Structure 1
Amino acid sequence: MRRLTAASRIAIPLAGALALSACSSSAQPKDNLQVVANPTAAQPAVSPARSVPPAGQVLPMPVVSAIAADQQSHTLVVALKQPAELRIYDLGSLGAPKTTVALPGPAESLTVSAGQALAGIPGKGVLARVALPSGQLTAEKIAGQPAAAVADGPDTLVAVRDRKAVDVLTSGSVAKTITGQLYSADDVVDTGNGIVVLDRLRTAVFSVDVQAGTMDEGLRAGDGAANAVADSYGRVLVTDARAGALLAFSTNPLILRQRYPVPGGAYGLAYDAKRSLAWVTLTGRNQVVGYDVRGGEPVEKYRFPTVRQPDTVGVDDQSGRVFVGSAAGEGTQVIQP
């Protein structure tokens, strides 16, 4: 892998962005992407007690671990930690779930597309495929800890955390395994202009050439990369939970384009493609903020108080509604900006 030097990244012209801090050459002489000697994944800031009521409506439910909305099936999918299940709601009627799907373990991630939900269950070594809106479950065993998955045409790409790999599944079987340079494979994102894998331990992002089966160039993603999502411009957006920032990387080639300060415990991340809004949760403030990301730097458009410990967020592109899940058991919040 060709590594970019810290100097070459700082030289990128960023309107209003912060300079990317480099690792000490004496402390890490052999790895420009290494942050500390014994890396640990960034965690969300612990939320204080709420000082104001959450905006919008709150759907009562236990601890939420992931949330996503699917336009094709017109559904909202909420993953609960305990009991380990998915609750599937009709976006037009959120009063009660249409279907509840029991899972073999807590889902850590959710992606939805083309009428199906993909849920990574690393604790059980299972990738759950759930048809929407019916809730029909197919549990596929994965060697290792499947942290996240995304559909890529007829294939499914699975980030396998402990094996530091991306498995390419075709018709439910592993057709290819892609490894190299990762400390941990925690998420995989299809930008429409290339595949990117997020490594939380190394706090970095890497390009993946699926056809060639190679892990290509990598770049530091701040001091504590937490979550990633694709936007409408072929980029991958990443929250930096330690430094408090929203980063934007273009792909092919992988280049850091923006690093915008987001104080308050930036963590959860979702994208509204219709409005070009990136929604970022601030767990240290119990807030969610909507940024317009069309220009040279993000522009804040909305800010709302949330449920406590808002670790996860989703958005309905059609209506613009935002869904914030509480990791403290305060439910799922529905906000209409």
Structure 2
Amino acid sequence: MGRLSAVSRIAIPLAGVLVLSSCSADDTPNDTLQIVQNPVAATAAVSPAVTVKPAGAVFATAGVKALVTDEASKTLVVAVSEPPSLRIYDLAALDAPKTTVALPGPAERLTVSRSQVLASVPDKSLLVKVSLPGGALETVPVAGQPSAGLADGDATLVSVRDRKAVEVLAKNAGPRTITGQIYSADDVLNTGDGVVVLDKLRTALFAVDLAEGKIGEGLRAGDGAANAVTDDLGRVFVTDARAGALLAFSTTPLLLRQRYPVPGGVYGIAYDRTRGLAWVTLTERNEVVGFDVRGGEPIEKHRFPTVRQPDSVTVDEQGGRVVVGSAIGEGIQVITP
């Protein structure tokens, strides 16, 4: 019964693969399923003033651009814009950063693998690699505006927004560029069953065939795909900031499995693999909500008031703590459910 209920909530066809068509000569998208003529990427809804005390503890910091935890090194990494830097915290002592690493420009997204954090710096056409917990820095030039980086074995995958491409960087070979009929490469994710790229302009997910070097099939991801994360079952969860929904996709094949309404300005997302919880932030309400996503449809398990403009969230999987970042400088918030 739970699975039938999940299907009934889906507002667009489950197997509706996007009709791919070429762009016109002036590079204006020509897509029969295009939502608007001149697409714009979804952004977080503006938060109201805080009226309820944020749950847990709040630690002062500048405006948070992104944050991520690394279980291996037991660290929390916070990217701030002023000055552009990464603040590396010991998860056992979050009152002050243990190390601060200056960046050449503001980081847009953080991913972590094997005790190394990858930070995309699109304004400087760089992918920055920082070791954890020490903070040793390496910069990797990228042609264009890198939006996200992902370690994939011995290679690094980089989504390059303006070039509409996924760049494959290998140690012993030159860069390999994978392109296709996408409008904007805004994030690249590996589910373990396949690699996908998130296109915020087209508000869609596309499969990436690394072996063939091409962008494969695509599916619409709501009305305003904002952020995405993978789980331990080979799925991709996407927040739809415009329609107010949490979407779940399989990748083999690429199919929309769930569309669950989440009102309140859903935007940031993180996944707790230990507990099977997807944590999403609601910027219109200054809240963070934890959904159990292991069944036929998401089940709300937790809801907490947050700092204002909670655009980003991450999870300390070892202890189950949730960390929320305020994009307007009202601190990082640590909640123990």
One fold, TM greater than 0.5? yes
Work out the CA distance in 1 between the residues paired with 2:174 and 2:304: 43
Aligned equivalent of 2:25 = none
Is the CA contact (8 Å cut-off) linking 2:125 and 2:142 kept in structure 1?
Answer: yes
Q: Counterparts in 2 of 1:31-70, with a 5 A limit?
A: 31-70=31-70
Is the CA contact (8 Å cut-off) linking 2:314 and 2:324 kept in structure 1?
Answer: yes
Q: Counterparts in 2 of 1:121-160, with a 5 A limit?
A: 121-160=121-160
Work out the CA distance in 2 between the residues paired with 1:32 and 1:93: 52
Aligned equivalent of 1:94 = 94
Work out the CA distance in 2 between the residues paired with 1:62 and 1:95: 14
Is the CA contact (8 Å cut-off) linking 2:6 and 2:260 kept in structure 1?
Answer: no
- Asked if residue 250 in structure 1 is aligned to residue 250 in structure 2, the reply is yes
Aligned equivalent of 1:19 = 11
Cα deviation 1:165-213 (Å, max 9, x = unaligned): 0000112864311000110000001101100100000000000011211
Is the CA contact (8 Å cut-off) linking 1:16 and 1:260 kept in structure 2?
Answer: no
Offset of residue 15 of structure 1: 3.2
Offset of residue 35 of structure 1: 1.6
Is the CA contact (8 Å cut-off) linking 1:64 and 1:326 kept in structure 2?
Answer: yes
Percent identical residues: 65
Residue type of the partner of 1:148? A
Offset of residue 86 of structure 1: 0.2
Residue type of the partner of 1:233? L
Find the residue that maps to 2:310 and give its secondary structure: coil
Aligned equivalent of 1:314 = 314
Work out the CA distance in 1 between the residues paired with 2:102 and 2:30: 46
Work out the CA distance in 1 between the residues paired with 2:325 and 2:8: 31
Is the CA contact (8 Å cut-off) linking 1:248 and 1:259 kept in structure 2?
Answer: yes
Is the CA contact (8 Å cut-off) linking 2:313 and 2:325 kept in structure 1?
Answer: yes
Change (3 A) 1:282 1:173: farther
Is the CA contact (8 Å cut-off) linking 1:17 and 1:297 kept in structure 2?
Answer: no
Is the CA contact (8 Å cut-off) linking 2:232 and 2:273 kept in structure 1?
Answer: yes
Larger deviation, residues 165-174 vs 93-102: 165-174
Cα deviation 1:16-51 (Å, max 9, x = unaligned): 4231189xx9xxx96344221100000100000011
Aligned equivalent of 2:295 = 295
Aligned equivalent of 1:8 = none
After superposition, the CA RMSD in angstroms is 1.7
Is the CA contact (8 Å cut-off) linking 1:268 and 1:280 kept in structure 2?
Answer: yes
Aligned equivalent of 2:202 = 202
Is the CA contact (8 Å cut-off) linking 1:196 and 1:205 kept in structure 2?
Answer: yes
Residue type of the partner of 1:210? L
Gaps of 5+ in 2: 20-28
Is the CA contact (8 Å cut-off) linking 1:16 and 1:297 kept in structure 2?
Answer: no
Offset of residue 96 of structure 1: 1.4
Cα deviation 1:50-94 (Å, max 9, x = unaligned): 111110011100100000000111100000011100000111111
Work out the CA distance in 2 between the residues paired with 1:37 and 1:299: 36
Aligned equivalent of 1:220 = 220
Work out the CA distance in 2 between the residues paired with 1:49 and 1:174: 50
Cα deviation 1:142-174 (Å, max 9, x = unaligned): 100000011111111000000000000112864
Aligned equivalent of 1:278 = 278
Work out the CA distance in 1 between the residues paired with 2:202 and 2:90: 38
Aligned equivalent of 2:26 = none
Find the residue that maps to 1:15 and give its secondary structure: helix
Residue type of the partner of 2:251? T
Find the residue that maps to 1:311 and give its secondary structure: strand
Structure 1 moving runs of 4+ over 4 Å? none
Cα deviation 1:205-263 (Å, max 9, x = unaligned): 00001121110000000000000000111000000000000000001210000000000
Work out the CA distance in 2 between the residues paired with 1:51 and 1:92: 29
Find the residue that maps to 2:123 and give its secondary structure: helix
Aligned equivalent of 1:110 = 110
Find the residue that maps to 1:208 and give its secondary structure: strand
Aligned equivalent of 1:4 = none
Is the CA contact (8 Å cut-off) linking 1:33 and 1:202 kept in structure 2?
Answer: no
Residue type of the partner of 2:273? A
Is the CA contact (8 Å cut-off) linking 1:140 and 1:172 kept in structure 2?
Answer: no
Gaps of 5+ in 1: 1-11
Work out the CA distance in 2 between the residues paired with 1:277 and 1:160: 30
